[in-house]
Amino acid sequence: MHKGVLYIFLFFLLSWLYLPKVQATNYYVSNSGNDTNSGLTLSTAFATLQHAVSIVIAGDTVFVADGEYDGFDIRNKNGTATSPIVFKTLGSEVLISSSGPIRDDGINVENADYVVIDGFTVNDMIGSGNGIRLVLSDNCVVRNCSCDNNAERGIFTGFTDDILIEYNICTNAIDEHGIYVSNSSDNPTIRYNICHSNNNIGIHMNGDLSAGGDGIISNAYVYGNIIYDNGGAAGINMDGLENPVVYNNLIYNNHFSQGIALFQQDGAIVTQGAKIFNNTIVVPTDGRWGILVRSGANVNTEIFNNIIINQHAWRGCVAIEDTTSFVCDYNIVNDKMSDSGDGSTISFLEWQALGLGMHSMLADAVNEIFIDAAMGNFQLLSGSQAIDTGTSLVNSIVLDDITGIARPQGGTYDIGCYEFEFTSSLPHIEAELSGITIFPNPFSDTVVVDGELAEFNVKVLDAGGQLVVDYSNQLTPIVIDFSDLPAGLHFISVQKSNNTLMEVYKILKQ
């Protein structure tokens, strides 16, 4: 090798060898620790979270043992997409009961991207304190946290693009909301949280033009949340949002509130382009509208597959001020709608005369739709009108229900946030019925049941578990003709006459 080339090679080799390495480090914090320790093991843990904050760099994780701690404030430190800075509890009893060193908040993340907060309980912040606050911080995650009785909100964010807020419980906020995403925060995902008993809104999103930025929150995804017993404005409130997607949420018993509100107050635009699919909304007697769509919010907004029941004396299910470019169908509603906003109602037939809700239905009694609404169980009752009466127009977004059950289970989508799971709702004892065969499956037109059926009753059930045809006391082979039934899921029940044994065969007609 030429000397000059060799020297250049050696130079770069040595430079590479002596470059500072970025290596992820795990640190530990414990009530029995000491900030003079190394923090590298649980037995040599730090005592305070703030000391750990002073040391961490991208890729580091701070593990926190069960106990009670002062809060912490992380600023001007960034993780990366592949090496975030993580604060994670080791158990389920890590309580932050006093604020961090700078603000009244329990946890404050500021000018710090790619930070993960996982598993903390943050209660009783005073003054202007939030449980967890993140501002000017992108690509952060808040998950598995519990925030109760905090002065302002449970979780608050501002100017936080691409934030993920999931599996948190936010309760009893004294002044405002359970979760509040504000200040032009684009691409937020808020999912699988429980927000209840907050003074104001369950989940609030506001573009906040007056605070700077473009005043628009774009492409929010809000799904799988349970929101109840909150005290004002709405269960889910959207001011200045563009193309939000809101689905599979359970929203009930929120007082003085809409279920979902689309409007403009401080946002730069009226919330528009919303996709509101498969939510269950039950408004109490002291509530307001199920879904409120202010003028301008109708533009490209679609409302499909929602159960919207309103128990208020005259307010109803959907109130809109302008029906142009607005689609609303395949919902279950009461006979109270509005095409003029909050002030008056029209009947369901008048609503349909506007070209809206042509495939929607008037709601049956609550106890005929849900298993036990009075006890907060809004899963669908067998035979509920919501089963198999929705539309598959939502299928690019809604792939499962609030509990993770794949949709659809039957011939088409159920309405509301729960999908009826047939196999768990029909009696089914695992047993071999000797000598009985059912074939073929899947099939196109007919199914044959053959064998010794003297002691068995054979019935065909629809996707909702309702009887279609009873073949009991017939001689075998029984040929069941499905040619006149719609495509989708059916059941063949073979049950011993004394009810001691039963097989349920799932049959999918193509």
In a domain, 410, yes or no: no
pLDDT in tens, the chain (510 residues): 555 544 444 444 444 444 444 579 999 999 999 999 999 999 999 999 999 999 999 999 999 999 999 999 999 999 999 999 999 999 999 999 999 999 999 999 999 999 999 999 999 999 999 999 999 999 999 999 999 999 999 999 999 999 999 999 999 999 999 999 999 999 999 999 999 999 999 999 999 999 999 999 999 999 999 999 999 889 999 999 999 999 999 999 999 999 999 999 999 999 999 999 999 999 999 999 999 999 999 999 999 999 999 999 999 999 999 999 999 999 999 999 999 999 899 999 999 999 999 999 999 999 999 999 999 999 999 899 999 999 999 999 999 999 999 999 988 999 999 999 865 443 333 334 556 666 665 455 677 777 777 677 788 877 666 778 888 877 777 888 777 777 666 777 777 666 555 566 666 555
- Whether residue 206 is found in the same domain as residue 303: yes
Q: Are strands 437-439 and 446-450 parallel, antiparallel or unpaired?
A: antiparallel
Q: Is residue 331 part of a domain?
A: yes
Res 363: pLDDT: 98
CA 34, distance to chain mean position in Å, is 40
Same-domain check for residues 343 and 438 = no
The whole-angstrom separation of Cα 364 and Cα 367 is: 8
Give strand pairing partners of 236. 203, 260
174 plus 87 within the same structural domain: yes
Question: For 424, phi and psi rounded to 5 degrees?
Answer: -90, -10
* Residue 338 β-bridge partners: 319
Peptide bond into 440 cis (omega under 30): yes
Residues 372 and 442 grouped into a single domain: no
Same domain, 368 and 432: no
List, in order, residues 6 or more apart from 127 with CB less than 8 Å away. Answer: 99, 104, 151
The candidate with the shortest Cα–Cα distance to 366, out of 386, 390, 352, is: 386
- Provide the percentage of residues in the chain whose pLDDT is more than 90: 76
**Alpha carbons 407 and 384: distance in angstroms, whole number:** 16
Q: Tell me whether residue 131 is in a domain.
A: yes
86 and 192, same domain (yes or no):
yes
DSSP three-state, residue 218? strand
End residue of a domain, out of 362, 380, 398: 380
Q: Tell me, what's the pLDDT at 468?
A: 82
Instruction: Identify whether 420 is part of a domain.
Output: no
Give me the chain's average pLDDT, please: 89
Tell me the pairing of strands 217-218 and 241-242: parallel
Residue 271: how many other CB atoms lie within 10 Å = 31
Q: Quick one: tokens of 130?
A: 């939030």
177 and 239 assigned to the same domain:
yes
Give the chain's domain count: 2
How crowded is residue 395: how many other Cβ atoms within 10 Å of its Cβ?
Answer: 13
pLDDT of 193 reads 97
Q: How many CB atoms lie within 10 A of CB 58?
A: 16
Paired tokens of 31: 């009530």
Q: For 143-200, give the DSSP string.
A: ES-EEES-SS-SEEEES-TT-EEES-EEE--SSS-SEEEESS--S-EEES-EEES-SS
| Neighbouring C-beta atoms of residue 510, cutoff 10 Å | 8
Residue 402 resides in a domain: no
Q: What is the span of the domain harbouring residue 102?
A: 20-380
The pLDDT value given to residue 256: 93
83 lies in the same domain as 187: yes
The two three-digit tokens of residue 190, written as one number = 């808020």
Predicted confidence at residue 476, as pLDDT, reads 73
Do 312 and 441 reside in the same domain of the chain?
Answer: no
Domain containing residue 498: CATH number: 2.60.40
What single letter denotes the amino acid at residue 362?
L
Distance between CA atoms of 332 and 341, rounded to whole angstroms?
20
Q: In terms of domains, do 198 and 277 share one?
A: yes
Q: Is 286 contained in some domain? A: yes
List, in order, residues 6 or more apart from 42 with CB less than 8 Å away. 28, 30, 63, 65
**364 and 454 belong to one structural domain:** no
Q: CA dihedral in degrees (443, 449, 451, 454; nearest 10)?
A: 170
- Residue 58 covered by a domain: yes
CATH of the domain at 187: 2.160.20.10
Question: Phi and psi (nearest 5°) for 42?
Answer: -65, -35
CB-count exposure of residue 367 (10 Å: 0-12, 13-18, 19+)? exposed
- Among residues 348, 380, 412, the one where a domain terminates is 380
Q: What is the sign, positive or negative, of the torsion defined by CA atoms of 56, 129, 177, 213?
A: negative
Residue 2 domain-assigned (yes or no): no
Q: Is there a single domain that holds both residue 110 and residue 170?
A: yes
Strand order in the sheet with 467-470: 467-470, 456-461, 488-496, 502-509
